[in-house]
Amino acid sequence: MEKTNEMLMKSFNRALSELNNPYIKEAQSNGKKVIGLFCSYIPLELIAAGGMVPYRLKGQPGKDIGAGTTYLSTRLCTFSRNALSLALENDYSFLSGFIGNNTCDQIRRASQNWIIKKPAQFNHFIHIPRVYGEENVSFFKDQLIELKQELEEWSGKKISDDDLLKENLKYNKARELLRKLSMLRKYNKPVLSGSEMLTISAAYHQMPVNDFIPAAESLLENLLKEKTSDKGSSGKARILLCGGMIDEPDYIAFIEEQDIDVVADAVCFGMRSYRDDVDMKMDPMEALAERYLTHFPCPHIGESFSKRWETIKQVYKEYNADGIIFQRLKFCQIWGVDSHNMSGECEEMGIPLLTLEREYGFFSTGQLKTRLQAFVELIEERKEAV
């Protein structure tokens, strides 16, 4: 990370500095309630429209996950165990509300254990359909209306269409900024690294949108001013990172230490959360249901591979990538077939693909380094052959 970027990234690093980060503390001191949620399928706008702060739950690398393992066993992914451990040991006690969901079985069980063992003041569980046809979007809208009503009842504040429209607009703005920042990775010498971009997009989920927008604007402005003349090439392999949940910029930083630029991603704390906007011309609740259920899909949607692959291919091209790294947490089942489906497609298109299985917040540097170096060599060979 270059020195100047480090300074410009200050706000986003602050948002990831601790779970109860300074932005959250400040919002709470201003009387705002903070609502924790697990997944990219829950509309942040709806919570913000109720005058609350949506907070995407993350894990904490290095956390002892014994408490979560007691309830979830060793057969569930280390992220779900990590997050539940944090809840059970009161690291998330600053949350006023919790919204659990069933996008995957592990998060469903972690959510249920959370609600039983450490209920927040407000607890809700939402069904996210696993199919995204018309019927399902309309059913999802009903689920969101139910959530809205419960939030209203609990907080005593009605959420009007105007409130929703305002927040939908604001979040579209935030997503637009994220897209513009991400595009700075298109340069041959990317202006932002992959780990910086994940820091920014993770921070988007961890701070009030009103704080995020000015911070992102200022970063973009500065980068555009200072760096667009930054031509030349980094000479590194350009990688698109995809696969399951990842909120650890350090993991990407390590990848980038091995002669790799992570120039694009398709993960849910990353581009999957900001590639699509909410339609401002539709009824606001309908628009939220539509946007959130049908956005750049993760495989919890049972028929989504072709749409996901189409989008990944598009991003791969847009960002002029040389290869794909697919990462997945051990025991994460929903992502357990994508690498299989992708490998055939990649082979056909001549796209180098590396599949990595990992544990949350922990990696064996030696082994990973060797695999990454071999992958870089493969990419170079392919380039030379062309």
Q: Which residue has the tokens 């539709």?
A: 282
**234 vs 343, which CB is nearer to another protein?**
343
Retrieve residue 272's tokens.
């999957």
CA distances from 93 to 26, 132, 223 (A): 16, 34, 37
**Distance (Å, rounded) from C-alpha 57 to C-alpha 271?**
17
Do 343 and 353 contact (CB within 8 A), yes or no?
A: yes
Retrieve residue 329's tokens.
């947490």
Selection from ligand SF4, another protein, none that 244 binds (CB < 5 to 8 A by kind) is ligand SF4
Selection from ligand SF4, another protein, none that 333 binds (CB < 5 to 8 A by kind) is another protein
Q: Which residue has the tokens 């601790």?
A: 18
Binding to another protein (CB under 8 A) within 285-324 occurs at 299-300, 302-306
**28 vs 341, which CB is nearer to another protein?**
341
Do 66 and 73 contact (CB within 8 A), yes or no?
A: no
CB of 88 to another protein, least distance (A): 10
CA distances from 273 to 125, 198, 340 (A): 21, 11, 24
Non-local (6+) Cβ contacts of 22 within 8 A are: 14, 15
Write each residue from 76 to 115 as x if it is in contact with another protein (CB under 8 A), else as -, in one continuous string.
x---x---------------------x-xxx-xxx-xx--
Selection from ligand SF4, another protein, none that 75 binds (CB < 5 to 8 A by kind) is another protein
Write each residue from 285 to 304 as x if it is in contact with ligand SF4 (CB under 6 A), else as -, in one continuous string.
-------------x-x----
CB of 32 to another protein, least distance (A): 29
**Distance (Å, rounded) from C-alpha 200 to C-alpha 60?**
17
Asked if 336 touches another protein (CB under 8 A), the answer is yes
CB of 140 to another protein, least distance (A): 9
Q: Which of 50, 100, 194, 244 binds ligand SF4 (CB under 6 A)?
A: 244
> What residues are paired with 34 via a beta bridge?
53
Selection from another protein, ligand SF4, none that 71 binds (CB < 5 to 8 A by kind) is another protein
User: 266: helix, coil or strand?
Assistant: strand
**Distance (Å, rounded) from C-alpha 321 to C-alpha 261?**
9
Q: What is the dihedral of CA 39, 173, 136, 282, to 10 degrees?
A: 160
Q: Which of 11, 69, 103, 339 binds ligand SF4 (CB under 6 A)?
A: 103
Element (H, E) at 146: helix 134-155
The contact set with ligand SF4 (CB under 6 A) reads 39-41, 103-104, 244-245, 268, 298, 300
The contact set with another protein (CB under 8 A) reads 70-73, 75-76, 80, 102, 104-106, 108-110, 112-113, 116, 125, 127, 129-131, 133, 135-136, 139, 142, 299-300, 302-306, 328, 330-334, 336-341, 343
